[in-house]
Amino acid sequence: MIKFLNNKQRKKLQEQLKEYGISELPRHLIQTGKEKIRAFSGEISGQDIINISKQAYIEGIGLHILTIKDNQIRITLDGLHLLKPTKKIIELTKQQADSWFQGKSLNLQAEKGFMILKYKEDLIGMGKSTGNIILNYLPKERRVKN
Amino acid sequence: MLQPKPLFVERMQELLKDKQDLQTYLDIIHISPQNSIRCNTLKIQPQALKKRLEKKWKIEQPYKEYPEIMIIKSELEPGELGKAIEHLLGYYYVQEISSMLPILTLKPKPHETFLDLCASPGSKTTQAAAIMQNQGFILANDKDLGRIIILNSNLEKTGTTNQLVTKSRGEILCQKLEKQNTKFDKILVDAPCSGEGTLRSSPKTFIIWNPNMIKKLSKIQKHLASSAIKVLKKGGELLYSTCTHAPEENEEVIQYLLDNYPLEILPIKLPLKCRRGLSEWRGKKFSDELKKAVRIYPQDNNTEGFFLCKMRLK
């Protein structure tokens, strides 16, 4: 099921994302399933999408940028590249970044909650900090395979 | 080392009449292709990427007008291109140069509507999204769910936002879209083919190849490309491409389209050596217009083999 977010829903999201220094959201936001929010810049109307969906199975639309679960927002790796957050960023060392790309959680003290990880100029993902550990949410296909 | 079947060599002899040319071809098909990548300009600019990659590899940008195309000249470990942080972050896409040519030829623009009828694994869809700057609209279709999963993964990694992905047989999708009068400015039919052009990267094609398959594929290709024309806007452009040299899958398909639809073939300008389309194959004459189609042979540019034909609906 594809649902365009209305103004009220967008504003709520915008408020929640301010803590990461994100002020601008993509023009169209779409909710697919219960949790996924996707950015869509395709220049067609909602009605056109409905028309196409009547003719073929829609297997994807736009870019998955956020997951909302239990009222908490997790920004995907590609969502970070699109939204360009400026706050709640932890800078990693090379060794930590290497571990992150191997899918390992990091032993690192940080404030609790979701934090953005950066290595040099690259945003490399979002992890959940328990205070002492950053849990790794990097999808398998984006990890270094041994 | 796998060897081409005698019937295949016989056909190639007919295509490459010069003995030296044929020998060069028969030699190069046993050599792995160059390592080429395409900078994903949705995430990073070519010069910035080049600067980063030069810290680990020797990089060449072979075409001035396409700085996003890069060749890695250094010796690489198996899987090294895929493991690099720049790849994991979606800053580049590993893509053979000949496979970049359809989009360089069709040039979908921002704000145009573009249908990629056989889109998986997404090399051309993601390339189109980049040159469209994530504007306009892309309908990326494929019939196979397994391949769509790979397509979606590549669209995510490259940060593509202007696309809808559908699962349908191309012909059926076009029939249905035609009924609701949905039409596109540009269409790519990168048709399923016998893959003769991919022997360098996929030597199993030496074993799979057989002439009956070519006949079957030719029928499918004619049907697929005909369906696509029905959802092309008047004045819109269709790019038909394959990664094979078989004329039955190339010129014969285009001739069929010319015979049945009001199409004109447009000239193609590419920054590498291109050979003209054939005017005859095994007694079958093709329109002179077909000389505007392009054949890419691996020995000419150290790439894989390809066929391209760009048409406009009158």
- pLDDT of the residue at B110: 97
Cα-based distances in Å from A108 to A68, A88, A119: 24, 14, 14
Residue B282's Cβ-count burial label (10 Å; 0-12, 13-18, 19+) is exposed
Pairing of strands B35-39, A28-32: unpaired
Mutate to test the interface with A, among B41, B42, B53, B89 (most CBs of A within 10 A): B89
Task: For residue range B207-257, list pLDDT tens digits in order.
Answer: 999 999 999 999 999 999 999 999 999 999 999 999 999 999 999 999 999
The H or E element containing residue B116 is: strand B113-116
pLDDT at A27: 87
Tens digit of each residue's pLDDT (9 = 90 or more) over B160-214: 999 999 999 999 999 999 999 999 999 999 999 999 999 999 999 999 999 999 9
Give residue ranges of A with CB < 8 Å to any B CB: 26, 39-44, 48-49, 51-52, 55-64, 76-78, 81-82, 97, 101, 119, 122, 124, 141-145
Residues 6+ apart with CB under 8 A from B141: A56, B115, B116, B117, B118, B119, B165, B166, B167, B168, B170, B173
User: What does the pLDDT average to over B9-26?
Assistant: 97
Residues in A closer than 8 angstroms to B83, CB to CB, are 144-145
Contacts of A13 (CB under 8 A, 6+ apart): A5, A25, A29, A37, A66, A73
With CA atoms as reference, the chain A residue closest to B162 would be A42
B153 in the Ramachandran plot: left (φ > 0), alpha (ψ -120 to 50) or beta? alpha
pLDDT of A1 > 90? The answer is no
Give the β-pairing of A89-91 and A113-119.
Answer: parallel
In percent, how much of chain A has pLDDT > 70? 99
B94 close to B37: Cβ distance less than 8 angstroms: yes
Distance (Å) from the alpha carbon of B310 to chain A's nearest alpha carbon: 25
- What backbone torsions phi and psi does residue A61 show, to the nearest 5 degrees? -150, 130
- Helices (H) and strands (E) counted in chain A, each on its own, are 4, 11
- Residue B168's pLDDT is what? 96
Q: What is the ipTM of this complex?
A: 0.95
User: What pLDDT was estimated at residue A110?
Assistant: 94
Cβ-Cβ contacts under 8 Å, B113 against chain A: 43-44
d(CA B109, CA B126): 13
> Has residue A146 got a pLDDT over 90?
no
Residue A117: its pLDDT value, please?
A: 97
Mean pLDDT over B67-88 rounds to 96
Give the phi and the psi of residue B163 in degrees, each rounded to 5: -125, 155
Model confidence over B37-57: pLDDT tens digits? 999 999 999 999 999 999 999
Q: Distance between CA B313 and CA B183 in Å, rounded?
A: 12
Measured distance CA(A23)–CA(A15) in Å, rounded: 8
Average predicted confidence (pLDDT) for chain B: 97
Interface touch B161/A145, C-beta < 8 Å: no
- How much is the pLDDT for A71? 86
CB–CB of A42 and B145 under 8 A? no
Active site residue B274: no
Q: Which chain A residue shows the shortest CA-CA distance from B136?
A: A43
pLDDT, mean of residues B7-15: 96
Average pLDDT of the segment spanning A38-64: 93
Cβ–Cβ below 8 Å for A43 and B164: no
Q: In angstroms, rounded to a whole number, what is the distance separating the alpha carbons of residues B292 and A44?
A: 34
* Catalytic one of B193, B243, B274, B309: B243
A46 sits in which H/E element: helix A46-55
What angle is formed at CA B55 by the lines to CA A146 and CA B53, rounded to 5 degrees? 70
Q: Which residue in the set A48, A60, A143 is minimally distant from B152, CB to CB?
A: A60
Q: What is the pLDDT of residue B237?
A: 98
Q: How far apart are CA B22 and CA B178, in angstroms?
A: 44
**Per-chain mean pLDDT for chain A:** 94
Beta carbons of A122 and B173 less than 8 Å apart: no
pLDDT of residue A41 exceeding 80, the answer is yes
Q: How far is A53 from chain B (nearest CA, A)?
A: 8
Residue B268: alpha-carbon gap to chain centroid: 14
- Chain A interface, best mutation among B162, B167, B175, by max A CB count within 10 A: B162
Count of CB pairs separated by less than 8 Å, A with B: 108
Question: Per-residue pLDDT averaged across B120-131, rounded?
Answer: 98
Q: Which stretches of chain B are DSSP H helices? A: 6-15, 19-28, 46-53, 80-83, 85-88, 97-106, 123-131, 145-157, 170-179, 205-208, 211-229, 251-260, 298-301
pTM, two decimals, is: 0.96
Contact B136, B113 (CB under 8 A): yes
pLDDT score of B26 more than 80: yes
Q: Judge whether residue B113 has pLDDT over 80.
A: yes
Nearest residue, CB atoms, A42 vs list B89, B141, B164: B164
Among the partner residues A63, A101, A124, nearest to B159 by beta-carbon distance: A63
pLDDT exceeding 70 applies to what percent of chain B? 100
Query: Which tokens go with A6?
Result: 């209305």
How high is the pLDDT of residue A94?
Answer: 96
What is the per-residue pLDDT for A131? 95
Task: Judge whether residue A145 has pLDDT over 90.
Answer: no
